[in-house]
Chains A and B, each alone.
Chain A
Amino acid sequence: MEELRNLLNEKYPGIDFDTEKELVDNGVLDSVEIVSLISDIEDTFDITVTMEYIQPKYFQSVESMWEMIEELQ
Protein backbone atom coordinates (compact mmCIF):
# COMPACT_ATOMS: atom_id res chain seq x y z
CA MET A 1 0.00 0.00 0.00
CA GLU A 2 3.01 2.27 0.55
CA GLU A 3 3.85 2.03 -3.11
CA LEU A 4 0.32 3.13 -3.94
CA ARG A 5 0.51 6.03 -1.52
CA ASN A 6 3.77 7.22 -3.03
CA LEU A 7 2.39 7.01 -6.53
CA LEU A 8 -0.65 9.06 -5.57
CA ASN A 9 1.28 11.69 -3.67
CA GLU A 10 3.69 12.11 -6.56
CA LYS A 11 0.95 12.33 -9.15
CA TYR A 12 -1.33 14.63 -7.15
CA PRO A 13 0.76 16.57 -4.67
CA GLY A 14 -2.09 18.95 -3.88
CA ILE A 15 -4.40 16.28 -2.46
CA ASP A 16 -4.15 14.97 1.08
CA PHE A 17 -4.84 11.27 0.67
CA ASP A 18 -4.77 10.62 4.40
CA THR A 19 -7.86 12.62 5.17
CA GLU A 20 -9.80 12.51 1.87
CA LYS A 21 -12.08 9.48 1.99
CA GLU A 22 -14.57 10.54 -0.67
CA LEU A 23 -12.34 11.35 -3.60
CA VAL A 24 -15.02 10.63 -6.23
CA ASP A 25 -18.14 11.89 -4.44
CA ASN A 26 -16.48 15.18 -3.53
CA GLY A 27 -15.24 15.68 -7.06
CA VAL A 28 -11.58 15.69 -6.01
CA LEU A 29 -10.72 13.34 -8.86
CA ASP A 30 -12.54 13.86 -12.10
CA SER A 31 -13.08 11.30 -14.85
CA VAL A 32 -10.01 12.30 -16.85
CA GLU A 33 -7.81 11.99 -13.80
CA ILE A 34 -9.31 8.63 -12.91
CA VAL A 35 -8.57 7.25 -16.37
CA SER A 36 -5.02 8.47 -16.10
CA LEU A 37 -4.70 7.00 -12.60
CA ILE A 38 -6.04 3.66 -13.79
CA SER A 39 -3.38 3.62 -16.46
CA ASP A 40 -0.64 4.29 -13.91
CA ILE A 41 -1.98 1.70 -11.47
CA GLU A 42 -2.11 -0.90 -14.22
CA ASP A 43 1.50 -0.21 -15.15
CA THR A 44 2.83 -0.12 -11.58
CA PHE A 45 1.05 -3.20 -10.24
CA ASP A 46 0.85 -5.18 -13.48
CA ILE A 47 -2.91 -5.68 -13.36
CA THR A 48 -5.77 -4.98 -15.68
CA VAL A 49 -8.54 -2.89 -14.16
CA THR A 50 -11.75 -4.18 -15.72
CA MET A 51 -15.04 -2.30 -15.90
CA GLU A 52 -16.33 -4.16 -12.86
CA TYR A 53 -13.88 -2.18 -10.78
CA ILE A 54 -14.34 1.20 -12.38
CA GLN A 55 -16.90 2.25 -9.84
CA PRO A 56 -16.90 5.13 -7.36
CA LYS A 57 -16.62 2.79 -4.38
CA TYR A 58 -13.18 1.57 -5.42
CA PHE A 59 -11.69 5.02 -5.90
CA GLN A 60 -12.96 6.89 -2.89
CA SER A 61 -9.78 6.51 -0.86
CA VAL A 62 -6.32 4.99 -0.81
CA GLU A 63 -7.68 2.06 1.17
CA SER A 64 -10.41 1.26 -1.31
CA MET A 65 -7.97 1.49 -4.20
CA TRP A 66 -5.63 -0.92 -2.46
CA GLU A 67 -8.53 -3.31 -1.88
CA MET A 68 -9.20 -3.28 -5.62
CA ILE A 69 -5.54 -3.85 -6.46
CA GLU A 70 -5.34 -6.81 -4.12
CA GLU A 71 -8.44 -8.40 -5.64
CA LEU A 72 -7.02 -8.05 -9.10
CA GLN A 73 -3.64 -9.54 -8.32
Chain B
Amino acid sequence: MSKIKNLAKAVVFLILLAVLIHAIDSIFTNTDFRIYQTMTAFYDEPDDKLDGVYIGSSTTYAFWQPNTAWDHYGITVIPLSIPDMPAASLKYMIKEGRKTQPDALYIINLNSFRSAVPDTNHFHFMTDFMKFSLNKIDMVNDLGKRSDIEWYDRLEFLFPVIRFHSNWSNLYKDAVTPEPDLLKGGVHYSTYLSYVKDVTGMYNYSEETSEIDAEKADILEGLLSYCEEDDVNVLFILAPQADLNDESHAELNAIAKVTEERGFPTLNLVNKIDEIGLDTTLDFYNGKHTNIHGSLKFTKYLCEYLTENYDFEDKRGREEYSDWDEASEKYRGMIDEYVLDFELTDPVRDYTLGAPWITTTVLGNDIALGWTASYGADGYLLYRKSKPVEGGDSTAWELVDSFGYETLEYRDEGLKSGTKYTYTVVPVKTVDEVVNYGKFNHVGITAEIKAEG
Protein backbone atom coordinates (compact mmCIF):
# COMPACT_ATOMS: atom_id res chain seq x y z
CA MET B 1 0.00 0.00 0.00
CA SER B 2 2.75 2.42 0.89
CA LYS B 3 4.41 1.62 -2.44
CA ILE B 4 1.36 2.85 -4.28
CA LYS B 5 1.17 5.85 -1.98
CA ASN B 6 4.78 6.70 -2.74
CA LEU B 7 4.22 6.29 -6.45
CA ALA B 8 1.19 8.57 -6.27
CA LYS B 9 3.19 11.12 -4.31
CA ALA B 10 5.96 11.03 -6.88
CA VAL B 11 3.56 11.49 -9.78
CA VAL B 12 1.77 14.41 -8.15
CA PHE B 13 5.11 15.99 -7.25
CA LEU B 14 6.31 15.79 -10.84
CA ILE B 15 3.08 17.19 -12.23
CA LEU B 16 3.19 20.16 -9.86
CA LEU B 17 6.84 20.58 -10.79
CA ALA B 18 5.92 20.82 -14.46
CA VAL B 19 3.30 23.44 -13.60
CA LEU B 20 5.85 25.41 -11.60
CA ILE B 21 8.43 25.33 -14.39
CA HIS B 22 5.82 26.40 -16.90
CA ALA B 23 4.82 29.33 -14.70
CA ILE B 24 8.42 30.47 -14.28
CA ASP B 25 8.96 30.05 -18.00
CA SER B 26 6.13 32.37 -18.87
CA ILE B 27 7.51 35.08 -16.60
CA PHE B 28 11.07 34.85 -17.80
CA THR B 29 10.73 34.91 -21.51
CA ASN B 30 11.52 37.03 -24.50
CA THR B 31 9.95 40.45 -24.29
CA ASP B 32 10.09 41.44 -27.93
CA PHE B 33 6.66 42.94 -28.08
CA ARG B 34 6.49 43.18 -31.84
CA ILE B 35 6.75 39.43 -32.25
CA TYR B 36 4.32 39.02 -29.37
CA GLN B 37 1.74 41.06 -31.27
CA THR B 38 2.03 39.23 -34.56
CA MET B 39 1.92 35.79 -32.95
CA THR B 40 -0.92 36.73 -30.62
CA ALA B 41 -2.94 38.05 -33.53
CA PHE B 42 -2.79 34.60 -35.07
CA TYR B 43 -3.31 32.51 -31.93
CA ASP B 44 -6.25 34.63 -30.77
CA GLU B 45 -8.14 34.16 -34.01
CA PRO B 46 -11.11 31.80 -33.60
CA ASP B 47 -10.89 28.42 -35.31
CA ASP B 48 -11.76 28.09 -38.97
CA LYS B 49 -12.30 31.77 -39.54
CA LEU B 50 -9.42 32.72 -41.82
CA ASP B 51 -9.29 32.67 -45.59
CA GLY B 52 -5.56 32.47 -45.50
CA VAL B 53 -2.51 32.27 -43.30
CA TYR B 54 0.57 34.04 -44.65
CA ILE B 55 3.75 32.40 -43.40
CA GLY B 56 7.22 33.84 -43.67
CA SER B 57 9.84 36.12 -42.18
CA SER B 58 9.61 39.88 -41.84
CA THR B 59 9.07 39.94 -45.59
CA THR B 60 5.58 38.81 -44.75
CA TYR B 61 4.52 41.40 -42.24
CA ALA B 62 6.31 44.24 -43.99
CA PHE B 63 4.69 43.49 -47.35
CA TRP B 64 1.22 42.24 -46.45
CA GLN B 65 -1.36 44.51 -44.82
CA PRO B 66 -4.23 42.42 -43.44
CA ASN B 67 -6.34 45.46 -42.55
CA THR B 68 -6.18 46.96 -46.02
CA ALA B 69 -7.02 43.60 -47.55
CA TRP B 70 -10.08 43.48 -45.33
CA ASP B 71 -11.05 47.09 -46.05
CA HIS B 72 -11.07 46.69 -49.82
CA TYR B 73 -11.76 43.04 -50.46
CA GLY B 74 -13.29 41.62 -47.31
CA ILE B 75 -10.80 38.79 -47.15
CA THR B 76 -9.19 37.55 -43.94
CA VAL B 77 -5.52 36.67 -44.21
CA ILE B 78 -3.36 36.97 -41.10
CA PRO B 79 0.44 36.86 -41.17
CA LEU B 80 2.07 34.09 -39.13
CA SER B 81 5.50 35.58 -39.39
CA ILE B 82 8.62 36.00 -37.32
CA PRO B 83 11.72 38.02 -38.19
CA ASP B 84 14.24 35.91 -40.12
CA MET B 85 12.08 32.82 -40.14
CA PRO B 86 14.34 30.30 -41.87
CA ALA B 87 13.33 27.78 -44.48
CA ALA B 88 13.53 24.86 -42.07
CA SER B 89 10.74 26.31 -39.93
CA LEU B 90 8.19 26.71 -42.72
CA LYS B 91 6.82 23.19 -42.54
CA TYR B 92 6.30 23.42 -38.79
CA MET B 93 4.57 26.79 -39.02
CA ILE B 94 2.14 25.33 -41.53
CA LYS B 95 1.46 22.51 -39.08
CA GLU B 96 1.03 25.03 -36.29
CA GLY B 97 -1.43 27.01 -38.37
CA ARG B 98 -3.41 23.98 -39.44
CA LYS B 99 -4.18 23.13 -35.82
CA THR B 100 -6.72 25.93 -35.78
CA GLN B 101 -7.14 26.86 -39.46
CA PRO B 102 -7.04 23.55 -41.30
CA ASP B 103 -8.87 24.71 -44.42
CA ALA B 104 -7.16 28.04 -44.94
CA LEU B 105 -4.95 28.86 -47.87
CA TYR B 106 -1.34 28.75 -46.78
CA ILE B 107 0.67 31.47 -48.45
CA ILE B 108 4.37 30.80 -48.05
CA ASN B 109 7.11 33.35 -48.60
CA LEU B 110 9.93 31.52 -50.32
CA ASN B 111 12.20 34.41 -49.31
CA SER B 112 12.72 32.39 -46.15
CA PHE B 113 15.02 30.21 -48.21
CA ARG B 114 17.65 32.91 -47.94
CA SER B 115 18.68 31.12 -44.76
CA ALA B 116 18.31 27.43 -44.09
CA VAL B 117 18.61 27.56 -40.31
CA PRO B 118 18.54 30.42 -37.78
CA ASP B 119 21.30 31.73 -35.54
CA THR B 120 20.72 31.49 -31.78
CA ASN B 121 18.90 34.79 -31.40
CA HIS B 122 16.56 34.18 -34.26
CA PHE B 123 16.03 30.63 -33.07
CA HIS B 124 14.70 32.23 -29.90
CA PHE B 125 12.47 34.54 -31.90
CA MET B 126 11.01 31.44 -33.51
CA THR B 127 10.38 29.51 -30.33
CA ASP B 128 9.75 32.04 -27.57
CA PHE B 129 6.33 33.02 -28.85
CA MET B 130 5.22 29.65 -30.10
CA LYS B 131 2.95 27.65 -27.83
CA PHE B 132 4.45 24.58 -26.21
CA SER B 133 3.45 21.51 -28.20
CA LEU B 134 4.79 18.35 -29.82
CA ASN B 135 5.10 20.33 -33.05
CA LYS B 136 7.36 22.79 -31.26
CA ILE B 137 9.52 19.97 -29.90
CA ASP B 138 9.76 18.52 -33.42
CA MET B 139 10.79 21.87 -34.82
CA VAL B 140 13.42 22.48 -32.16
CA ASN B 141 14.88 19.04 -32.77
CA ASP B 142 14.93 19.48 -36.52
CA LEU B 143 16.48 22.94 -36.43
CA GLY B 144 18.83 21.84 -33.65
CA LYS B 145 20.08 18.89 -35.65
CA ARG B 146 20.60 20.99 -38.75
CA SER B 147 22.50 23.59 -36.71
CA ASP B 148 24.61 20.96 -34.90
CA ILE B 149 23.25 21.95 -31.51
CA GLU B 150 23.48 19.22 -28.86
CA TRP B 151 20.21 18.01 -27.39
CA TYR B 152 20.91 19.52 -23.99
CA ASP B 153 21.68 22.90 -25.57
CA ARG B 154 18.35 22.74 -27.37
CA LEU B 155 16.52 22.88 -24.02
CA GLU B 156 16.80 26.65 -23.89
CA PHE B 157 14.49 26.87 -26.90
CA LEU B 158 11.83 24.77 -25.23
CA PHE B 159 12.33 26.38 -21.83
CA PRO B 160 13.32 29.99 -22.52
CA VAL B 161 13.78 30.56 -18.79
CA ILE B 162 17.19 28.93 -19.23
CA ARG B 163 18.31 31.87 -21.32
CA PHE B 164 16.26 34.62 -19.78
CA HIS B 165 16.26 33.84 -16.07
CA SER B 166 19.19 36.21 -15.62
CA ASN B 167 16.75 39.01 -16.36
CA TRP B 168 15.31 38.67 -12.89
CA SER B 169 17.03 41.87 -11.80
CA ASN B 170 15.24 43.73 -14.58
CA LEU B 171 11.96 42.01 -13.98
CA TYR B 172 10.27 44.92 -12.30
CA LYS B 173 10.71 46.93 -15.48
CA ASP B 174 9.21 44.36 -17.78
CA ALA B 175 6.69 43.08 -15.31
CA VAL B 176 3.77 44.39 -17.27
CA THR B 177 2.63 41.93 -19.91
CA PRO B 178 1.62 43.73 -23.06
CA GLU B 179 -1.96 44.00 -24.17
CA PRO B 180 -2.76 42.45 -27.52
CA ASP B 181 -3.12 45.33 -29.94
CA LEU B 182 -5.98 43.63 -31.84
CA LEU B 183 -4.66 44.75 -35.19
CA LYS B 184 -4.81 41.34 -36.89
CA GLY B 185 -1.06 41.31 -37.32
CA GLY B 186 -0.84 44.70 -39.00
CA VAL B 187 2.52 46.18 -38.03
CA HIS B 188 3.22 49.74 -37.03
CA TYR B 189 6.86 50.05 -36.08
CA SER B 190 8.46 53.40 -36.82
CA THR B 191 10.90 52.38 -39.56
CA TYR B 192 8.09 50.71 -41.43
CA LEU B 193 5.83 53.71 -41.15
CA SER B 194 8.18 56.61 -41.68
CA TYR B 195 11.44 55.59 -43.36
CA VAL B 196 12.16 55.88 -47.03
CA LYS B 197 15.32 54.54 -48.61
CA ASP B 198 16.28 54.64 -52.24
CA VAL B 199 17.08 51.04 -53.11
CA THR B 200 17.31 51.43 -56.85
CA GLY B 201 21.04 50.68 -56.83
CA MET B 202 20.54 47.34 -55.07
CA TYR B 203 17.71 46.01 -57.11
CA ASN B 204 18.38 43.69 -60.00
CA TYR B 205 16.10 42.02 -62.48
CA SER B 206 17.16 38.47 -63.19
CA GLU B 207 15.70 35.31 -64.64
CA GLU B 208 18.81 33.26 -63.99
CA THR B 209 18.54 30.06 -62.02
CA SER B 210 21.30 28.18 -60.24
CA GLU B 211 21.98 25.07 -58.25
CA ILE B 212 20.13 24.90 -54.97
CA ASP B 213 22.31 24.38 -51.89
CA ALA B 214 22.05 20.76 -50.68
CA GLU B 215 20.70 21.61 -47.23
CA LYS B 216 18.05 23.92 -48.67
CA ALA B 217 17.12 21.37 -51.31
CA ASP B 218 16.60 18.84 -48.54
CA ILE B 219 14.44 21.27 -46.60
CA LEU B 220 12.47 22.13 -49.74
CA GLU B 221 11.81 18.49 -50.45
CA GLY B 222 10.59 17.94 -46.88
CA LEU B 223 8.30 20.93 -47.17
CA LEU B 224 6.79 19.92 -50.50
CA SER B 225 6.35 16.29 -49.51
CA TYR B 226 4.50 17.38 -46.40
CA CYS B 227 2.22 19.65 -48.41
CA GLU B 228 1.48 16.88 -50.86
CA GLU B 229 0.91 14.16 -48.25
CA ASP B 230 -1.32 16.26 -46.09
CA ASP B 231 -3.06 17.88 -49.02
CA VAL B 232 -2.34 21.40 -47.88
CA ASN B 233 -3.75 24.24 -49.92
CA VAL B 234 -0.56 26.20 -50.66
CA LEU B 235 0.46 29.29 -52.60
CA PHE B 236 4.18 30.03 -52.85
CA ILE B 237 5.31 33.62 -53.21
CA LEU B 238 8.69 35.20 -53.77
CA ALA B 239 8.21 38.73 -52.47
CA PRO B 240 9.99 41.54 -54.31
CA GLN B 241 12.91 42.28 -52.02
CA ALA B 242 15.38 44.74 -53.47
CA ASP B 243 18.62 43.54 -51.91
CA LEU B 244 19.02 40.13 -53.53
CA ASN B 245 22.46 39.68 -55.00
CA ASP B 246 22.94 37.62 -58.15
CA GLU B 247 23.59 34.32 -56.35
CA SER B 248 20.64 34.60 -53.97
CA HIS B 249 18.33 35.75 -56.71
CA ALA B 250 19.33 32.86 -58.94
CA GLU B 251 18.91 30.34 -56.14
CA LEU B 252 15.49 31.69 -55.20
CA ASN B 253 14.43 31.66 -58.84
CA ALA B 254 15.48 28.02 -58.98
CA ILE B 255 13.48 27.22 -55.85
CA ALA B 256 10.40 28.95 -57.25
CA LYS B 257 10.81 26.89 -60.40
CA VAL B 258 10.91 23.67 -58.38
CA THR B 259 7.67 24.46 -56.57
CA GLU B 260 6.01 25.42 -59.79
CA GLU B 261 7.09 22.27 -61.56
CA ARG B 262 5.79 20.24 -58.63
CA GLY B 263 2.35 21.62 -59.34
CA PHE B 264 2.06 24.24 -56.61
CA PRO B 265 0.78 27.71 -57.51
CA THR B 266 3.83 29.99 -57.40
CA LEU B 267 4.14 33.74 -57.79
CA ASN B 268 7.69 34.92 -58.41
CA LEU B 269 7.28 38.66 -57.88
CA VAL B 270 10.90 39.79 -57.65
CA ASN B 271 10.96 40.75 -61.31
CA LYS B 272 7.49 42.29 -61.20
CA ILE B 273 8.21 45.49 -59.32
CA ASP B 274 6.82 47.63 -62.11
CA GLU B 275 3.69 45.50 -62.50
CA ILE B 276 2.99 45.86 -58.79
CA GLY B 277 3.64 49.55 -59.03
CA LEU B 278 6.50 49.65 -56.55
CA ASP B 279 8.88 52.58 -56.81
CA THR B 280 12.40 51.72 -55.68
CA THR B 281 13.05 55.31 -54.62
CA LEU B 282 10.03 55.75 -52.38
CA ASP B 283 8.43 52.48 -51.39
CA PHE B 284 11.14 50.71 -49.36
CA TYR B 285 12.58 51.40 -45.93
CA ASN B 286 15.58 49.17 -46.56
CA GLY B 287 16.71 46.67 -49.15
CA LYS B 288 14.66 43.87 -47.60
CA HIS B 289 11.33 45.50 -46.81
CA THR B 290 8.76 47.81 -48.25
CA ASN B 291 7.52 50.61 -46.10
CA ILE B 292 3.82 51.17 -45.57
CA HIS B 293 3.39 52.89 -48.90
CA GLY B 294 4.93 50.02 -50.78
CA SER B 295 3.10 47.45 -48.73
CA LEU B 296 -0.26 48.99 -49.59
CA LYS B 297 0.56 48.52 -53.26
CA PHE B 298 1.78 44.97 -52.73
CA THR B 299 -1.29 44.08 -50.73
CA LYS B 300 -3.58 45.39 -53.43
CA TYR B 301 -1.72 43.41 -56.09
CA LEU B 302 -1.88 40.20 -54.13
CA CYS B 303 -5.54 40.73 -53.23
CA GLU B 304 -6.39 41.06 -56.91
CA TYR B 305 -4.64 37.77 -57.52
CA LEU B 306 -6.33 36.04 -54.61
CA THR B 307 -9.84 37.17 -55.40
CA GLU B 308 -9.34 36.17 -59.02
CA ASN B 309 -7.98 32.70 -58.31
CA TYR B 310 -9.61 31.66 -55.06
CA ASP B 311 -13.15 31.46 -53.82
CA PHE B 312 -12.84 34.00 -51.03
CA GLU B 313 -16.14 35.59 -50.12
CA ASP B 314 -16.33 39.27 -49.45
CA LYS B 315 -17.25 39.17 -45.78
CA ARG B 316 -17.51 42.89 -45.18
CA GLY B 317 -20.62 43.87 -43.27
CA ARG B 318 -21.09 40.50 -41.60
CA GLU B 319 -21.84 40.55 -37.90
CA GLU B 320 -19.34 37.90 -36.91
CA TYR B 321 -16.48 39.82 -38.58
CA SER B 322 -17.02 43.04 -36.68
CA ASP B 323 -13.63 42.56 -34.99
CA TRP B 324 -12.01 42.97 -38.39
CA ASP B 325 -13.91 46.21 -38.90
CA GLU B 326 -12.71 47.46 -35.54
CA ALA B 327 -9.15 46.43 -36.29
CA SER B 328 -9.20 48.19 -39.63
CA GLU B 329 -10.58 51.36 -38.15
CA LYS B 330 -8.01 51.35 -35.38
CA TYR B 331 -5.23 50.69 -37.86
CA ARG B 332 -6.33 53.50 -40.14
CA GLY B 333 -6.25 55.82 -37.15
CA MET B 334 -2.64 54.78 -36.48
CA ILE B 335 -1.35 55.31 -39.97
CA ASP B 336 -3.12 58.49 -40.99
CA GLU B 337 -0.08 60.60 -40.14
CA TYR B 338 2.03 58.55 -42.50
CA VAL B 339 -0.32 57.79 -45.36
CA LEU B 340 -2.29 60.21 -47.55
CA ASP B 341 -6.01 59.71 -47.72
CA PHE B 342 -6.13 58.61 -51.36
CA GLU B 343 -3.53 55.85 -50.75
CA LEU B 344 -6.16 53.93 -48.85
CA THR B 345 -8.87 54.26 -51.45
CA ASP B 346 -7.52 52.06 -54.19
CA PRO B 347 -6.39 54.93 -56.44
CA VAL B 348 -5.12 54.95 -59.98
CA ARG B 349 -1.43 55.78 -60.04
CA ASP B 350 0.59 57.40 -62.78
CA TYR B 351 4.28 57.04 -62.03
CA THR B 352 5.35 59.13 -64.98
CA LEU B 353 4.44 62.14 -62.86
CA GLY B 354 7.60 62.71 -60.85
CA ALA B 355 7.64 63.84 -57.22
CA PRO B 356 8.03 67.63 -56.91
CA TRP B 357 10.88 69.07 -54.91
CA ILE B 358 9.61 71.29 -52.11
CA THR B 359 11.23 74.30 -50.45
CA THR B 360 10.02 76.13 -47.37
CA THR B 361 10.72 79.57 -45.93
CA VAL B 362 9.53 80.56 -42.50
CA LEU B 363 8.20 84.13 -42.29
CA GLY B 364 6.95 84.86 -38.80
CA ASN B 365 3.91 82.65 -38.33
CA ASP B 366 3.66 81.86 -42.03
CA ILE B 367 5.46 79.32 -44.15
CA ALA B 368 6.04 80.09 -47.81
CA LEU B 369 6.15 76.92 -49.92
CA GLY B 370 7.50 76.40 -53.38
CA TRP B 371 7.75 73.24 -55.49
CA THR B 372 9.11 72.16 -58.81
CA ALA B 373 6.83 71.35 -61.68
CA SER B 374 6.07 67.75 -62.49
CA TYR B 375 6.12 67.10 -66.22
CA GLY B 376 2.76 65.90 -67.43
CA ALA B 377 0.79 66.93 -64.40
CA ASP B 378 -2.31 69.05 -64.74
CA GLY B 379 -2.59 69.85 -61.03
CA TYR B 380 -1.07 69.56 -57.59
CA LEU B 381 -2.41 68.56 -54.20
CA LEU B 382 -0.81 70.06 -51.10
CA TYR B 383 -0.93 68.00 -47.89
CA ARG B 384 0.11 69.10 -44.44
CA LYS B 385 0.53 67.62 -40.99
CA SER B 386 1.79 69.24 -37.78
CA LYS B 387 3.37 68.29 -34.50
CA PRO B 388 4.23 70.40 -31.42
CA VAL B 389 7.97 70.96 -30.96
CA GLU B 390 7.72 70.15 -27.25
CA GLY B 391 6.49 66.64 -27.98
CA GLY B 392 3.06 65.24 -28.50
CA ASP B 393 1.24 63.44 -31.25
CA SER B 394 1.30 64.42 -34.87
CA THR B 395 -1.91 65.23 -36.70
CA ALA B 396 -3.00 63.15 -39.67
CA TRP B 397 -2.06 64.22 -43.17
CA GLU B 398 -4.74 66.55 -44.39
CA LEU B 399 -5.35 68.11 -47.74
CA VAL B 400 -4.70 71.86 -47.58
CA ASP B 401 -5.74 72.72 -51.11
CA SER B 402 -5.56 71.61 -54.73
CA PHE B 403 -4.00 73.75 -57.45
CA GLY B 404 -3.82 73.92 -61.19
CA TYR B 405 -0.68 73.05 -63.07
CA GLU B 406 0.59 76.66 -63.23
CA THR B 407 0.64 77.13 -59.43
CA LEU B 408 4.00 76.29 -57.94
CA GLU B 409 3.81 78.14 -54.67
CA TYR B 410 1.62 78.69 -51.64
CA ARG B 411 1.74 80.71 -48.47
CA ASP B 412 0.44 78.90 -45.41
CA GLU B 413 -0.66 81.64 -42.99
CA GLY B 414 -1.59 82.04 -39.39
CA LEU B 415 0.31 79.01 -38.14
CA LYS B 416 0.89 78.17 -34.50
CA SER B 417 4.13 78.97 -32.72
CA GLY B 418 6.18 76.13 -31.30
CA THR B 419 4.97 73.73 -33.98
CA LYS B 420 6.60 71.77 -36.76
CA TYR B 421 4.73 71.63 -40.08
CA THR B 422 5.38 68.94 -42.67
CA TYR B 423 4.27 69.26 -46.28
CA THR B 424 4.13 67.12 -49.36
CA VAL B 425 2.89 67.85 -52.85
CA VAL B 426 1.22 65.23 -55.04
CA PRO B 427 1.09 65.82 -58.83
CA VAL B 428 -2.15 64.67 -60.39
CA LYS B 429 -3.55 64.20 -63.88
CA THR B 430 -7.19 63.65 -64.63
CA VAL B 431 -7.90 61.16 -67.39
CA ASP B 432 -11.49 60.34 -68.35
CA GLU B 433 -12.70 61.99 -65.17
CA VAL B 434 -10.48 59.71 -63.07
CA VAL B 435 -7.76 61.29 -61.01
CA ASN B 436 -4.36 59.67 -61.55
CA TYR B 437 -1.99 60.28 -58.66
CA GLY B 438 1.72 60.65 -59.32
CA LYS B 439 4.80 60.14 -57.15
CA PHE B 440 5.27 62.25 -54.08
CA ASN B 441 7.70 62.63 -51.22
CA HIS B 442 6.44 60.08 -48.67
CA VAL B 443 8.21 61.66 -45.74
CA GLY B 444 7.60 65.30 -46.58
CA ILE B 445 9.54 68.49 -45.89
CA THR B 446 9.38 69.98 -42.41
CA ALA B 447 9.64 73.59 -41.26
CA GLU B 448 9.41 74.85 -37.70
CA ILE B 449 7.62 77.93 -36.36
CA LYS B 450 9.69 78.71 -33.28
CA ALA B 451 8.07 79.14 -29.94
CA GLU B 452 7.51 82.70 -28.71
CA GLY B 453 9.92 84.34 -26.32
Q: Direct contact between A and B in the complex (CB less than 8 angstroms)?
A: no
Interface residues of B (CB under 8 A from A): none
Interface residues of A (CB under 8 A from B): none
